[in-house]
Amino acid sequence: MIITVYIDESGTHESSVTILGGWVGRLGQWATFDPKWRRLLKRSRLTHFHSKKLRHSKGEFKGWSISEKQAFIAEAAKLGKDLEFGFTIILSDDDYQQHYVAGYRPKEIQLDTRYGICFRYCLGLIPSLAMQAFGTNDLEISFVLESGHENFGDVDRIFEKVKKITGSW
């Protein structure tokens, strides 16, 4: 079975937490979700969705009331029922510094960025959740992430290393 995982990050710029979230579904589930998502954006007079802009009433969300924002999020959340499951991974900067960066480590080991740590967790989490949700271990999983993020190179490095080690993906 072929499934696709769409992932986005938030909080890696000027924030004390990094959040990696996404949705998982089969091709048919995404085919049902996509037109509904486009209709919701169109009805809301939006060309795209960016949670930071919603939170700060910037861009296309300028002038939106709190109730308008809540209504949009409620409608968007309903669309998630068309997909198999969603997930969120949260890493605080304090935890990253205290439990990952601090302490002894060999100098030749390259540290992951906060985004990279969250992605590693995602790679460990999604396959088992997907096998459970879809009732099979015969899965081909495609991960779709934005490529314009400043730490995307770290995610690419991690993904290639995991593929090399596991011989899969």
List, for residues 111-146, the tens digit of each pLDDT value: 888 889 999 999 999 999 999 999 999 999 999 987
Bridge pairing between strands 85-92 and 2-10: unpaired
- Interval 11-59: pLDDT, tens: 756 678 888 899 999 999 999 999 999 999 999 999 998 888 898 999 9
CA pair distance 11, 93, nearest whole angstrom: 10
The pLDDT, as a whole number, for residue 26 is: 96
Please state the φ and ψ torsions of residue 88, each to the nearest 5 degrees. -140, 135
CATH top-level class of 2-166? alpha beta
